[in-house]
Chain A
Amino acid sequence: MEPSVSRYAVNSLLYRLKKEPDFRARFTADPAAALAGLDLTEPERSAFIARDMRKINELGGYLHLVMSIPGLAAH
């Protein structure tokens, strides 16, 4: 895997989940509703709804974010 410019939508969402406790709480309560209207592909949306951090990382989510989101982190 070569380093390359990564996908903004996935990482900005990860960043919000880490840094915005209110958004994180809405996501935890109802992931599909929290993601409504966001510019995500179907595989990205499905990975987030399943909280599949491995898949999100595979889709370009930065490792340090997927490892450090409170309550959702993969270790």
Chain B
Amino acid sequence: MGKIVFAGAMSHVLDPEYYDRACGAVGRQTVEAVMAEIARMGERLSAKKPDALIVVADDHLNAFSFNAVPALCVRIGRDVQRMTQDHAEAFDKVLEHMPERYPLHEDLANAILEQGLEAGFDLALSWEAPVDHAFLSPVNTMHGARPIPPLVPIWVNCFVAPQPTARRCFAFGQHIARVVARSPWNVGIIATGGLSHFPELSLPRVGETDTVFDRKLIHWMERGEHEPLLDLTTAELHKAGEHEFLNWMVLIGAVTPARADVRYFGELRRINMAAVEWSLP
């Protein structure tokens, strides 16, 4: 019987140069601090010798153009390539110097997809979509020079309205847990992004965060009180700059009712940085 052996969530632009430019020395110090915690989380993940690592993250209009924007999408196939961007700027630059291809856990991805459709989750699938910093920055920070386990990338549409609901993301996470339990594999799962940043996706508001909202989310996660999280609305997540918390909702559904331990929380003008790990039975 399979098992989720590790669960963690973390911010996903993990680049000291980016935050040095955006926020000065305090930006560099903050991201280096969260990266150190994420690297330690990676050591604990590796110690569990997972057969696969599910990565729940969002697209930043890199993998999917406007010909289709899936609410929930499972990447299938043998391997996945990193997104390429000529003359990359801002958060796209973090991808430079990362390995270009990553093996996938094809059987687990297929199981999540096929059993999902049987269970009423009308999941999208992709054989070709590349992964951007939302996937690869945490994965590479966690593993450093160690081998990366076969990945199962899963996209949640966090940004292009209308998005899936928090409740639906949680239910999808519960589905993932059921698939893993029926499988023969030990599986790690991470969710990336956040915490509060870019409220209302408004350029003049870049540089604002909602720390009160973050602390409310953390309070519920630490206590394993997941009911209030189910009622989070797209509008309030949008207002608070918590769009990417939808990724975290998938993970929370997969591990509920486990409680979270905050490994790092740091306020920064541009984004509140976080690294959180769940205590699993």
Chain A positions within 8 Å of B, measured between CB atoms, are: 1-6, 8, 11-12, 15, 18-19, 21, 53-54, 57-58, 62-71, 73-75
Q: Which residues of A contact B61 (CB under 8 A)?
A: 11, 15, 18, 62, 64-65
Chain B residues closer than 8 Å to A70, beta-carbon distance: 85-89
Q: Is the CB of A63 within 8 A of B66?
A: no
Give the distance in Å from the alpha carbon of A45 to the alpha carbon of B235 in the complex. 29
Closest chain-B Cβ to A48's Cβ sits at a distance in Å of 15
- Select from chain B the residue with minimum beta-carbon distance to A70: B87
Chain-A contact segment, one of B38-46, B116-124, B183-191, B200-208: B200-208
Q: Which of A58, A71, A75 has the most CB of B within 10 A?
A: A75
Contact yes or no, A69 B89, CB < 8 A: yes
Please indicate the chain B residues that have their CB under 8 angstroms from the CB of A62 in the complex: 61, 159-160, 201
**B66, A8: Cβ atoms under 8 Å?**
yes
A8 to chain B, nearest CB (A): 6
Interchain CB contact under 8 A, A74 and B203: yes
Tell whether, in the assembled complex, residue A68 and residue B89 are in contact, meaning their CB atoms are under 8 Å apart: yes
In the complex, the answer to whether B202 meets A5 with C-beta atoms within 8 Å is no
> In the complex, A28 Cα to B85 Cα: how many Å?
18
Q: Are B89 and A3 in contact (CB under 8 A)?
A: no
The answer, yes or no, to whether B214 is at the interface (CB within 8 Å) is no
List of B residues within 8 angstroms of A69 by Cβ: 89
Contact B85 A18 (CB under 8 A): yes
- A6 to B92 CA separation, bound complex (whole angstroms): 23
Smallest beta-carbon distance B277→chain A, Å: 27
